[in-house]
Amino acid sequence: MSNPVLVEVVRGALVESRHRGAVAVMDADGATVFALGDVARAVYPRSAVKPLQALPLIESGAAEKYGFGDKEIALACASHGGEPAHVEVAGRMLARAGLDGEALECGAHWPSHQASSQALARSGAAPSALHNNCSGKHAGFLCVACAAGVDHHGYVKAEHAVQREVRGALESLTGVGLGVDACGIDGCSIPTWAVPLTALAHAFAQFGTGRGLGSERAKSAARIRAACLAQPYYVAGTGRFCTEIMTLLGTRVLAKTGAEGVFCGALPEVGLGIALKCDDGATRAAEVTMATMIARFLPMAEDERGAVGRFLRPTLRNWNGIEVGGLRSAEALSS
């Protein structure tokens, strides 16, 4: 059984490459609004659930204790580009808890934002864990530990109090029990728990609307959503899909990318959650699929619809800037 082709990559007169995958759109009551492909298969959501993983930061009182505003909370949900402003906010979050970048257990990598990476190289410095795209999330985890007076060492381990809190939030929102048979280790060393796309989409519908959540949790979810939508630059960065689509559509969409072709999101005003995965792990196809779902389910004004067009059919240009092709949703997705 193979998933349908979601996105085609065109060059000249031919389809050069094809991306298969599955998509689920659910409402907060758990009703399936749209499903394509094997939406029951458990997939690792990777970074796409960072907004959910940030719930303990709010619910523990740590965000309040350390005086976090929208930027800090947005960065706790981010897969950021390692731009100077991202690094600065991550460092500030840690400082509030009396820590610095040394406490991060996510590992170091060069900023994915090319200009920032080159500027860092020009300065003669090497990247630190603060440049890791997950440093905001990890700073949040460390703050949860410190606010609770728990030893933060090993906070990335499944058995640490912080990860137990995070797992509890995910289990509660997805309605799925998360055991070791569904556990992988993420790029930043924390556990990633596999969940069916339907459960992820349902979780995001609840997260986006507050429906089906207790009043405290609904308030925490609303706080995280408000932070991401007020400061979308801190959720990803310059030129990035999540930042640009949230900037464009304001409070009407929450969108979060994950590694290996995952995307999750919420459309609060229509009460829907979206979860998708490209089989092959391609981000380019996950983005086109996400844009296609947003355009399909979110009522948009003429000018918004025009602006979303470049996410629906991105142009491919070569090193000389010549248009050589583009991406488009395939029939199964667009029909």
Binding site for a second copy (CB under 8 A): 2, 9, 11-14, 16-20, 42-44, 105-110, 114, 117-119, 121-122, 124, 132, 181-189, 192, 194, 260-261, 278-282, 285, 318-322, 324-325
Residue (110 or 297) nearer to a second copy, CB: 110
Residue (63 or 78) nearer to a second copy, CB: 78
Residue (226 or 332) nearer to a second copy, CB: 332
Q: Residue 317 Cβ, how far from a second copy at the closest point, in Å?
A: 9
| Cα Rg, the chain, nearest whole Å | 19
Strand (E) positions, the chain? 5-11, 14-27, 32-36, 42-43, 183-185, 191-193, 195-196, 254-258, 262-267, 272-278, 315-317, 323-329
Cα(112)–Cα(61) distance, rounded to whole angstroms?
A: 32
Taking alpha carbons only, the member of 166, 268, 183, 285 closest to residue 222 is 268
Q: Residue 109 Cβ, how far from a second copy at the closest point, in Å?
A: 5
Token digits of residue 268: 């609060």
Residue (131 or 217) nearer to a second copy, CB: 131
Q: Residue 332 Cβ, how far from a second copy at the closest point, in Å?
A: 12
Residue (14 or 31) nearer to a second copy, CB: 14
Q: Residue 159 Cβ, how far from a second copy at the closest point, in Å?
A: 16
Q: Residue 167 Cβ, how far from a second copy at the closest point, in Å?
A: 14
| Cβ pair 142, 149 in contact under 8 A | no
Which helix (H) or strand (E) segment is 120 a member of?
A: helix 114-122
Residue (60 or 198) nearer to a second copy, CB: 198
The two most distant CA atoms of the chain are separated, in Å, by 62
| Cβ pair 264, 200 in contact under 8 A | yes
- Phi and psi at 40, nearest 5°, equal -90, -15
Q: Residue 277 Cβ, how far from a second copy at the closest point, in Å?
A: 8
